Amino acid sequence: MIAVLGLIWVYFHWATDYVFLTPRNLSNLMTQMSVTGVIAVGMLMVIVSGNIDLSVGAVLGFAGGIAAYAVTVMDYGLPTAIVAAVAVGVAIGIFNGALTAYLNIPAFIVTLGGLLAWRGAVKWLLGGNTIPISNETFKAIGNENLPLSIGWALAVVAILFVLFMAYRNAKSVKDYGLGDANYVGELLKAIIPIGGIVAFIWVMNAYQGVPIPVLILLVVALAGGFITNSTTFGRYLYAIGGNADAARLSGINNKRNIVKVFAVLGALTGIAALMFTARVGSAAPDAGVLKELDAIAACVIGGASLMGGRGTIFGACLGALIMASLDNGMSLLNVRDFMQDIIKGSILVAAVGLDMMGRKQS
């Protein structure tokens, strides 16, 4: 899929007269993918557990509406709005998870109902109107950039962290008596992430600095990667999605973990709602329409199986980046609206088809 992304980028760069791969456009592109990316991280975990959440687009609209209502109508501060949006997301997530796990209603049905019901709730809350955001700090979440110096400082911190992990990996081999510590090998392996960090900050700072939404996505994605790879909760998700009976008989509380994973997605949907509302500068009744499908598509393009048990955060983010690249590139090329949809749909199916063919052969 990295190769597919590369092809798409090279093609658009050439087709747009070398506009696509400029710092300015890349910065826009990353900002555009950030909302979908944050949701995709949570969606990936839900999909890995063998479930699905179709309600995230509507929940995004509702949580965004709540935040806007709190700030603009009720005149509360930003912290209240943030807490409210995330709390709404978590509460709905727990509700979806509980219906799925404890009442055995398929997640598809629970969240299909949610898709309708929460969209209705937004319309009711906003009375069909759009609520503008007056709070400038709120808007900054979606629109400001990190100062260049802070961007570089973060790069330094990130590089030190990568080096520390490399050192720890090498050392643990020795500590546990599994062989000699291979410091040079680990250092060589660290070159790619370090290169990535430097390139990323350099490109972002070449325009206006790292956009805040992109920073949020990075933090969320790193946290998601950590949860899926390095926690018992993450491992249980793969086990439940891979073979629910085997997981249950191995002492895993499948039901509780399913509620948890929906809660995590709910929290991330709340965060995405804040980012989206801030970026647009208002809460509208149709905010987040079809966002669930973007997030699911991102996961699937990134190699997740809707049957559960398989998928990575990295893949989901890559999938979100591919989708955003298509949107961005086709807009630059002034491809007509309907054509964009046709092409995106076709590429989604083709990408998964290729993936399945590759899997069969291996």
Partner 1 sequence: MPLLEMRNIVKEFPGVRALDGVSFTLEAGEFHSLVGENGAGKSTLMKVLSGVYPDGTFDGEILVDDQARHFRGIRDAESAGIAIIFQELSLVKELTVGENIFLGKEPSRFGVINWAELYHKASKLLQDLHLGIDPRVKVGSLGIGQQQLVEIAKALSQDAKILVLDEPTAALTESEVETLFGILEKLRQRGVGMIYISHKLDEVFKMSDRITVLRDGKTVATHNAAEIDKNKVIAAMVGREVGNIFPEPDHQNGDVALSVKNLSAYSADIADKKLVDDVSFDVRKGEVLGIAGLMGAGRTELLMAIFGAWQGRYSREIEIGGEPASIDSPADAIAKGIGFVTEDRKRFGLILEQTILDNMTLAGLRSISGRFVTNRTLETMAARGPMKSLRIKANSPLTVTGTLSGGNQQKVVLGKWLLTNPKVLFLDEPTRGIDVGAKQEIYAEINKLAQTGMAIVLVSSELPEVLGLSDRIIVLHEGRLTGEFTRDEATPEKVMAAATGNN
x/- string (CB under 8 A) for partner 1, residues 236-255? x-xx--xx-xxxxxxxxx--
Residue 233 in tokens: 């909760």
Among 142, 309, 315, 319, binds partner 1 (CB under 8 A): 309
Rank residues 152 and 167 by Cβ distance to partner 1 and give the closer one: 167
Residues 202, 208: Cα–Cα separation, whole Å: 10
Q: Which of 91, 225, 233, 333 binds partner 1 (CB under 8 A)?
A: 233
Contact (Cβ atoms closer than 8 angstroms) between residue 279 and residue 142: yes
Asked if 134 is part of the footprint of partner 1 (rule: CB under 8 A), the reply reads no
Minimum distance from residue 106 beta carbon to partner 1 (Å): 17
CB atoms within 10 A of CB 106: 12
Q: Is 159 helix (H, G, I), strand (E, B) or coil?
A: helix
Q: How far is the CB of 331 from partner 1 (least distance, A)?
A: 39
Please tell me whether residue 104 binds partner 1 under the rule CB under 8 A. Answer: no
Q: How far does Cα 321 stand from its chain's mean position?
A: 10
Residue 103 sits in the site that holds partner 1 (CB under 8 A): no
Cα–Cα distance for residue pair 236/50, rounded to 1 Å: 12
Please select the residue that binds partner 1; options are 232, 334, 361, 362, rule is CB under 8 A. Answer: 232
Q: Which amino acid type is present at position 165?
A: M
Q: Which is nearer to partner 1, 248 or 344 (CB)?
A: 248
Is residue 351 at the binding interface for partner 1, with CB under 8 A as the rule?
no
Strands (E), 95-209: 131-132
- The least distance separating partner 1 from the CB of residue 257, rounded to whole angstroms, comes to 12
Q: Which is nearer to partner 1, 65 or 309 (CB)?
A: 309
- Footprint of partner 1 on 247-306 (CB under 8 A): 247-253
Nearest approach in angstroms of CB 305 to partner 1 is 9
Q: Does 231 bind partner 1 (CB under 8 A)?
A: yes
Regarding 62 and contact with partner 1 (CB under 8 A), the answer is: no
Position among 230, 345, 350, 358 found at the interface with partner 1 (CB under 8 A): 230
Residue 251 CB, nearest distance to partner 1 (Å)? 4
Instruction: Number of residues interacting with partner 1: please give it, by CB under 8 A.
Output: 26
CB 147 → partner 1: shortest distance, Å? Answer: 33
Distance CA 92, CA 55 (A): 9
SS3 at position 145 = strand
Q: Per rule CB under 8 A, is residue 235 in the interface with partner 1? A: yes
The nearer residue to partner 1, 149 or 172, going by C-beta atoms, is 172
Residues 21-60 that bind partner 1 (CB under 8 A): none
Would you state the torsion angle of the CA atoms of residues 261, 297, 158, 86, taken in this order, to the nearest 10 degrees?
-40
Residues 6+ apart with CB under 8 A from 227: 45, 233, 234, 264
Distance CA 316, CA 208 (A): 26
180 counts as binding partner 1 under rule CB under 8 A: no
Cβ proximity to partner 1: between 84 and 252 the closer is 252
Residue 46 Cα distances to 41, 70, 172, 236, angstroms:
9, 29, 32, 12
Element (H, E) at 282: strand 282-283
Identified binder of partner 1 from the candidate list 129, 134, 149, 172, rule CB under 8 A: 172
* Given 13, 189, 310, 344, the residue binding partner 1 (CB under 8 A): 310
Stretch (H or E) spanning 140: helix 136-143
Residue 131 exposure: Cα atoms within 13 Å on the Cβ side? 27
Of 32, 2, 27, 36, nearest in space to 220 by CA? 36
Residues that bind partner 1 (CB under 8 A): 172-173, 176, 178, 230-236, 238-239, 242-243, 245-253, 309-310
